[in-house]
Each structure stands twice: as structure tokens, then as C-alpha cells.
Structure 1
Amino acid sequence: MKVLLLGEFSGMHQNLAIGLRKFGVDVTVASDGDGWKNYPRDIDLSRDIKRNSFLYLLKLLRNIPNLSGYDVVQLNCPKPFNATATFNRIAFNFLKQLNKNIFLGAHGMDTRYISFALDGKLKYSVFQIPSIQNDPHIKELRNLIKYKSELKLNDKIASQSKGIIASSIGYYLSYTDYFSSKTTYIPLSIDTTKYTYTSTIGDNPQKIKFFLGMMEGRIVRKGTDIIHKVLLELKRRYPNDVELTIVKSVPFNEYQNLLNSSHVLCDQMYAYGIGLNGLIAQAKGLIVCGGADEEMYKALGEQNNKPIVNINVSEDEMLKSFEFLIKNKDKLKEISIKNRAFVVKHHDSKTVANRYIEFWKEKIETTN
């Protein structure tokens, strides 16, 4: 099988490619590296936004031979190219002519997700928190669905794709209204052989080391402003039991080094599950606090091991969850091991890749 993974979100396709190659799949990753994050890829589709779109088009045209002849093209979103909706619509038409089967990924806030969330159909969504609706980025997302070209592009690609793969419950639910027969949920993947158990938590640590990474421009919509506030209160109440590491927009390698010396990662709010940084932390044996909704565990088929500390709660309840860790230091090593076991079972790149392969084959067989 020859597969093109087109586009990138936080290394998602890079990690998926690792798993696919373990099954002997011929994989090519083509992306812009997710902007400044600069994730590795086989074909570079980065764009200098200071230069006009015609030059970007020429770059894509030169890459047509490298974007052709695949059994499967997996898009990371309806706009895998860093350009307008019209540009992406034309590019999609070319991809359909040059390749056998195209699949859509639902991994971010596309127009279908935004519309679904604004209709109040999700349990967790940044659009349901009144206090953050003036955030510039949230305003930008709300305005996106006012453009017919954006809405039409999303619906066109969803309609003409062989299948749709969502990596979170929220994204999955937003597509099942209209595309239930072709939509499935497959969780994010990471290479658990690369991220090994490195926890230094010990059997009964004197101090618990909490870590919070805050990304400029995403602080409000990830809820890290609230998490930060609660952690400061925790430190005030338990100065001898808590050590805080708070960083803002640090490079990935520096982030990982800081993570390695921590015990607890506070990931994000307003989500059904955790993101890739949370999964990496779990693989390393950190206790992860983030989205941990029962719908997520149910979709994974997990009934016994539910190690994520749910912080989709009020500030008072979040503080109580953190206090539980402080008051039960003798249980932290066990929780740490359960976090590692959870991510290996459900998110290992080979396990997730196998689910992708099975879904691709199923949809190709039933639609051809």
C-alpha cells in the first residue's frame, strides 16, 4: 500500500507514519511542518506568507509528481495547504484526479466542528465559555463560518472523501450528523518506543513537581489561564509539598527536558481527552491532568484503567483534584505506571496505524 499523509497537526502525521512503516506501508508525509513547529516531512510544502500565492502554486505544481499515484491520500483537515479555501478546492480536485482514494481527517476546528459547537451540541467547547468569547482567536474562529467558500470547501471534501477519521470525540460527533456512515474515531498516536518510562516520582516524594506549558495565543482557549490560577493557589496552601514549573512557548526540546524532571503535567481544559503533549507525558510516566470524559474512555473500550485526572471542572473541584495527589503521595507511583500502560494500550503508533489501515481497506472495498 502506498500512502500520502498530507498536512500536519502537532506531529500527528509524523507519528502515524512511524506506525504505518512498521506494517511495511510505503508512506510519504507532505506538509509545511505545522509552521514554526517545523515537524519532519518527506515533502516540504511550507510557504513564505510574505510572498504571493502564485509562487506557492508554482511550488505545488513542481511537486505534482510527488503527490500523485497513491492508493490512499489522508488529509489532516479540509485545508491541508496554507492558502485560501479556493486554492485548496482547486488542489483537492487535482488530488482526486491523480490518486485513487482520498480520506479526510477531523483533527481541528474546521467549519463543521465550529458550526456544531456553536449550536450547543458539545459537552465541552471553547465556544460555550462566556468569559472567553472576546478572545481574538475565538472571534476569528466564529467568523470563519460566515464565509461561504470555507463552508462549501469543508462540505465538498467531506462529501467526496471515501471516509472521515476523527481523533477526538468532539470532532467525531461534529461529523456524525451528516456523515455517520463514513466517519470513525481513531485516537492520536505516538511512538511509545521513543518515549519510554522516565518518571522520577518515587514511592513517596516529599514534593510533587507540577508542570504547565502555556502557548502564546492559545492560553485562554486551552484553559491554561485557569489551570495556572489554581496551581498558584495550590502552591500557596501547600508550599512544602508543591514545586511549580510554568513555561510559555518554549521550543519542543526544551519543553521535553523540563517535562522529564516533572511528576504531573497539567494539559488542557474544554476537551473530551488530552492532546499529543499529554500523551507523550503519559508515555514517560507522568500523571496527566486534562480532559478525561467517560465518552472518551467508552470510545476506546476502556473500562478499568482510567488514570487521567479530569480537570474539566470548576476551579474549586480542580483544586480538590490536585489536593488529592498531595494527600495520597504513596499512590502516585501506581498512578504513574497506569498512565504509561494506558497510552501504550490505546495510542501506540503501531496500534493506531493498524486501525487506519483497516478503516482504509474497509471503505475502499465498500465504495469501489
Structure 2
Amino acid sequence: MDILLVGEYSRLHNSLKEGLIENGHRVRLAGFADGFKDYPVDLKFNKPWDCGFLRKIKVLVHKITGFNVSSYLIYRQFYKNRALFSGHDVVQLINENSFYCGYHYERKILEYIFRNNKKVFLLSCGSDYTNVRYCFQNPGFKSVVQPYLAGKIKKKDFLPVLKFRKAGYRKLHDYLYEHISGVIASDLDYHVPLAGHPKYLGMIPNPVNLEKLRTEDDGHSDKIVIFLGINQENYFRKGIDFFEKALAVIQHKYAKQVEIIVTRNLPYNQYISAYNRAHIILDQTYSLDQGYNALEAMAKGKVVFTGAEKLFETHYGLTEKVAVNALPDTDYIVKQLAFLIEHPEEIKAIGKRAEAFIKTQHDHAGIARKYVSIWE
């Protein structure tokens, strides 16, 4: 098959691309590199007028005229490279707003893609109309909407999520769902809101390229190493405030037994190297299932504090922990960390099960075959 993957979050499409190529398919990846993470793409789009003085001008122009300069300039990038976006058996969009344009220019791009390719599929692996609506309608559902409703995140900082509640993005959602061949969820956080939708084709777990993730020897430290990698933009959405408070307690109580590593806004390659020595990774508190960073750490045999709710255990038929289910509760996190520090044999046991789980459920070549089966 000839396949075009559009957009990149957390290396999902890169790993899928590698799995598809191993299965003999021709694959290209186009889109943004996910900010400072700087993931590789075959055709890289840039967000113009997105910072500094030019951003202020853009906002002013939009307020006065309603014209979105960034959307127009992104559309020009697309139009210049439009040949890449035609003639494929399958195009997969990573999001309902893969090109970060407003309704007018995003639709113009999508119209071209629908017109010039055989099938177009949509991934639900981040905020989109269906997911955001469900989370606001069900405030008890574990999601990034919870810290916003708790008043921790300012409205302007939550716009990448809130935009999907606006009329233009509802129109874009409706247009997409009229034309796509189907939508696929990457984990349970996106499966639950889509369950029962006529266009929903089911959940396919995130692909992880195990060949790029070697288990590290943890024998070089006499202490238990705990790692927290902070993406400042997602500070409250990931529940980092709870992790930082818990680490302060752990540092005070177990200073001689632990080493704590904290990093901020590292590019992907530096981030993945920074936690190699760690035994425990603190990932996020507002999820049912594991996101991509958690899965890669688990593949390396780390104990990850992340989403691992009962629904996750039931779905995969698990009877023993492969990760620690994290909650937005400092005392709970402290208790879980303390147990592991006082029972280091559990760290090794969970780490081994985590690595085996990723090999069984997330191997990129096997996951790629699942995608092809659904696409066909």
C-alpha cells in the first residue's frame, strides 16, 4: 500500500511508519514536529507568526479583520507541496485539526486530500470534538478537563482544548465525519467517548518500536532513581503539581535511599536519554491508559506512574501490575512511592512485567498489521 501519515504526536506516527515499512508498505510522514520535541517528519510544516512581535500583530489583525495570518501561511505551505498529498491508497490524519488552521483553510486542505486519495482515516489520540464534549459532559471522567474545571489552568492556556467547543471546529468535525472512511482510537481515554459511534472502527494500541528502546542496566546506582520530565506547557494537565509535591516529601523522608532527577522541556532525544538511569518514571495523573511517553519507558523496564485504571486492566486481562495507576492525589502518590522504595524487589518485578506487556501488546510491526487490516 501507498500510505501518507499526516501529523505527529509523541512519536506515534513515526513508530507506525517504521512498522508499516517493515511490512513492505511505502510510507511518507508530513506535518509539524510537535514543538520543542522535534520529531522527524519527511515534510515539515512550520507554525508561522506564532511567537514574539509577529504573534501580537497576528492577533491584532485577527481581531480587526477576522483574518488568520497563520492559517493562510500554513495553507500556502500545503499548496506548495500539494503533490505529496495526492495519489495514496490511505491517508491518516492524526487529529481533527492536523494542520492547526481555522475552519476555512483547514477545510480547503481537507477537500484536496479527500478529492485526491482513495481512503482517509482519522485518529483520536488527543483533544478533538468528541473527546472534549464527552469530558465536559462527564466531569467525573478522568481527563485533562478536570484540572481546568478545578481552576488550575487559565482559559487562554487551555485554548488548544477549548477550541473544539467552538462552532467552527464543530463544523470541521461534521465535515470530517461526513468524508472519512472511519476513526480509530489509540487508547482507552479516546475509546470511551467514541464507543457506539457509527464511524468508530475500534481501538488500536499505540505502536512502540522496541528495537529503538533498549532496556538499560540499572546496576550503576546504589539509590533508587526517580525521574520527572516536565513539559511546562502541560504542567497542570499532566498533574505535575501533585508529582512535585510528592517528590518533596519523598526527598525529605528517603534522602539517603533515592536520587531524584527533574528536567524541563527537553527535545525527544534528550528526554529519552535523561531517564535511562531511572527506575521509576512519573508520567501523568489524568488518564485511564498509558500515553506514548509512558509506553516507551515501560518498554525499557521502568516502573511508570501513569494511567492504569481498572478498565485498562480488564481490557488487557491483567492480573498483576504493569504500571502504577497515578491519581491527582499527593498523599496517594507518596504512599505508592514509599512502598516501592521500601520494597525494591517490586520495582524489578513490575518493570519486567511492563517490558513483557509492551512486547506483547504494542510491538510496532504487529500494530502496523492491525492498522492495515482496518484500512483494507
TM-score (norm 1): 0.90
How many equivalent residue pairs? Answer: 357
- SS of the residue aligned with 2:191? helix
Q: 1:21 to 1:288 in 2, by over 3 A?
A: same
Aligned to 1:364: none
CA contact (8 A) 1:29 1:41 kept: yes
> SS at the partner of 1:265?
strand
Q: Which residue of 2 aligns with 1:334?
A: 349
Taking the aligned partners of 2:249 and 2:270, their CA distance within structure 1 comes to 26
1:3 CA drift (Å): 0.7
Would the alpha carbon gap of residues 78 and 240 (structure 1) be closer, same or farther in structure 2, given more than 3 Å must change? Answer: same
The answer to whether 1:95 aligns with 2:118 is no
| 1:307 and 1:339 in contact (8 A); partners too | yes
Query: For the structure 1 residues 142 and 26, does the alpha-carbon distance in structure 2 shift closer, same or farther, using more than 3 Å as the test?
Result: closer
Distance of aligned partners of 1:346 and 1:238 in 2 relative to their CA distance in 1, 3 Å threshold: same
**2 CA distance for matches of 1:359 and 1:167?**
13
Residue aligning to 1:46:
46
CA contact (8 A) 1:189 1:349 kept: yes
**Residue 145 (structure 1) shift:** 4.2
- Counterpart of 1:289, as a letter, is F
Q: Which string of whole-angstrom CA distances, capped at 9 and with x for unpartnered residues, describes residues 35-66 of structure 1?
A: 33221112223242356544433321222221
Pairing 1:13–2:13 present: yes
Is 1:151 aligned with 2:170? yes
> 1:366: which partner in 2?
none
Alignment pair present for 1:309 and 2:324: yes
Counterpart CA distance in 2 for 1:84 and 1:263 is: 43
In the other structure, the counterpart of 1:116 is 134
Q: Secondary structure at the match of 2:261?
A: strand
Report whether the alignment pairs 1:171 with 2:187: no
Matches of 2:176 and 2:198 in 1, distance apart?
Answer: 15
Give me the CA root mean square deviation. 2.1
Matched, 1:126 2:139: no
Gaps of 5+ in 1: 362-368
- 2:225/2:260 contact within 8 Å kept: yes
Tell me, what secondary structure is at the counterpart of 1:30?
Answer: strand
| Post-superposition offset of 1:226 | 0.7
Q: 3-state DSSP class of the match of 2:275?
A: helix
Structure 2 residue aligned with 1:254, among 250, 266, 270? 270
Q: 1:185 aligned to 2:200?
A: no
Of the three residues 62, 78, 82, the one matched with 1:64 is 82
TM-score where L is the length of structure 2: 0.89
Cα separation, partners in 2 of 1:259 and 1:115, compared to 1, 3 Å: same
- Structure 1, 339-348 or 53-62: larger mean CA deviation: 53-62
Query: Do the aligned partners of 1:132 and 1:221 also contact (CA within 8 Å) in 2?
Result: no
Aligned partners of 1:91, 1:53: CA distance in 2, in Å?
11
Cα displacement (A) at 1:182? 2.8
Gaps of 5+ in 2: 55-68
Identity %: 28
- Structure 1 residue aligned with 2:340: 325
Post-superposition offset of 1:160: 2.1
Residue 85 of structure 1, CA deviation: 2.1
Deviation at 1:142, TM superposition (A): 6.0
Give the 5 Å matches for 1:222-261.
222-261=238-277
SS at match of 1:217: helix
The answer to whether the 8 A contact 2:130-2:193 is kept is yes
CA positional deviation for 1:247:
1.4
Aligned ranges for residues 200-219 of structure 1 at < 5 Å?
200=218, 206-219=222-235
| Contact kept? 1:199, 1:284, Cα under 8 Å | no
The residue type paired with residue 20 of structure 2 is: L
Structure 1 residue matching 2:41: 3-state secondary structure: coil
2:363 aligned with 1:348 = yes
1:164 partner SS: strand
Q: Is the 8 A contact 2:232 2:264 kept in 1?
A: yes
Q: 2:239, 2:328 within 8 Å by CA — same for their partners in 1?
A: no
Verify the 8 A CA contact 2:303 2:350 in the aligned structure 1: yes
Structure 2 residue matching 1:260: 3-state secondary structure: coil
Q: Cα offset for 1:73?
A: 0.6
Shift of 1:121: 6.4
Q: CA–CA distance in 2 between the matches of 1:322 and 1:168?
A: 26
